[in-house]
Amino acid sequence: MSTETTVVARTGRTAPRGLKRAAHSSPRGLKPAALVATGFLLLGLTACGPTSFVITPVPAEQELREQVVLREGAWATKKIALVDVDGILRNTRERSMLTGSGENPVSLFAEKLDQAAKDDSVRAVVLRINSPGGTVTATDLMYAEVRSFRQRTGKPVVACMLDVAASGGYYLACAADRIYAHPTTVTGSIGVIMVAPEFAGTMQKLGVRANVFKSGPLKDAGSMFRELNDADRAVFQGLIDGMYAGFLEVVAAARPGIEAERLKQLADGRVYLGAEAVKLGLVDETGTLHDAIFAAKELAGLSDKAVKVVEYARPLGYRPNVYAQTDGSPAQVNLINVGLPEWLSSPSPQLMYLWAPGW
């Protein structure tokens, strides 16, 4: 049972009284240290003007919990699990403004699939993908998790692509039994990219020099402190070519109707709208999320039965319906941001299955 305490904080005398009430009420599951931290946070924010806050204590246990987001019938017992894939795919914790760290997308994804695998009443999974891709390894790990889930459970998986499911987002969709896209979905971008920033010219103008001691001529290949030479480029191009070949193998396995030469023509990095991707054979059908859910029912032999659609979330996350999104990073791929994205601010080049036209 969850307890909700509402604290209304305004400038003047009201804010301290509200904060005092919050400090004296210590609901089960919320530690005193957390209350103190919350108090300081509220004091800092209320200095900016009248603000209302809703404090919702949550259980100390953070295991994923099932939430019903769609019920087709009052007596429905069979389930379709809806699993989100949002933002940049990477095998590292996301940064949070409040806590400094967040979920690891790969770990959370695997945890949700495990939850669906253990529940016998879950008969199929719908992957709701809204991602421009991410790092090569993270993408491949998530792809392998879906393949493993299908093999060990026999439960069908349907991919439903929303705004963006490009590059690594499309790679992941290829692990599903069937792929749906909205007519306006941006998908494709089959390929690999590596961005290696270089500041050698700028450093020379500023009179700054980096002294590098290395065991071999290629040890600092890709360093932002010197220009790339032909040997550096050959090494990195070899990596890109190998990973690109792996991407083509994944797509060829998922879309056997596309001939190899035709696939290479389609996989030149360009993106396609969902309707065009269907015509090209990269996607099975255009449709809504509800169409994808019905397709999952069909594959599970439940087309004539009422089901529950469920999601898995931490206790704090509330899912009112099937369109509710997770708290993951939005798929901002061509907007102007103040700071560099984490994948671009890394000191070393990263190999990416990523559509990022803004960079």
Does residue 184 or residue 51 have the better pLDDT?
184
Query: What token pair was written down for 37?
Result: 């931290």
Compute CA 323 distance to the chain's CA centroid, rounded to the nearest angstrom.
16
Mean pLDDT across the chain: 79
Instruction: State both tokens at 277.
Output: 């991707």
Is 219 a residue of the active site? yes
Name the token pair of 262.
């035709």
Q: What is the mean pLDDT of residues 212-241?
A: 86
Res. 133: pLDDT tops 60? yes
Q: Where are the alpha helices (DSSP H) in the chain?
A: 14-24, 32-46, 105-118, 136-153, 168-173, 200-206, 230-254, 260-266, 274-280, 289-299
Amino acid 37: pLDDT: 57
Report the percent of the chain where pLDDT is more than 70: 70
Compute, in degrees rounded to 10, the torsion defined by CA atoms 148, 150, 153, 157.
140
Q: Which helix (H) or strand (E) holds 312?
A: strand 308-313
Q: Specify the range with the lowest mean pLDDT, choosing from 18-22, 80-84, 147-151, 219-223.
A: 18-22
Q: For residue 282, what is the DSSP state?
A: S
- The predicted model gives 142-160 an average pLDDT of 97
Give the model confidence (pLDDT) of 53-107 as tens digits.
566 555 556 788 889 999 998 899 999 999 999 999 988 876 654 444 577 889 9
Rounded Cα–Cα distance for residues 148 and 56 (Å): 37
Which parts of 101-217 fold into alpha helices (H)? 105-118, 136-153, 168-173, 200-206
Residues 302-324: pLDDT tens digits?
Answer: 999 999 999 998 876 555 566 55
pLDDT at site 217: 86
- Is pLDDT of 13 > 80? no
Which one of the listed residues 20, 31, 219, 264 is annotated catalytic? 219
Domain boundaries, the chain: 5-55, 65-193+251-354
Burial of 306 (0-12, 13-18, 19+ CB in 10 A): middle
The pLDDT assigned to 21 comes to 41
pLDDT at 35 over 80: no
- Kindly tell me the burial class for residue 198, based on how many C-beta atoms sit within 10 Å of its own C-beta (0-12, 13-18, 19 or more): middle
Report d(CA 77, CA 276) in Å as an integer: 38
- pLDDT at residue 213, rounded to an integer: 84
**Range in 33-47, 88-102, 148-162 with the lowest mean pLDDT:** 33-47
The model carries a pTM of 0.75
Q: How much is the pLDDT for 44? A: 57
- Mean pLDDT is lowest, of 44-58, 124-138, 270-284, 305-319, for 44-58
The answer to whether the beta carbons of residues 81 and 120 sit under 8 Å apart is: no
- What band does 42 get if pLDDT is binned at 50, 70 and 90? low
Q: How far apart are CA 16 and CA 156, in angstroms?
A: 55
The arrangement of secondary structure in 65-193+251-354, i.e. its CATH architecture, is Alpha-Beta Complex (3.90)
Catalytic residue among 79, 155, 167, 308: 167
Please state, as a whole number, how many other Cβ atoms lie within 10 Å of the Cβ of residue 179. Answer: 28
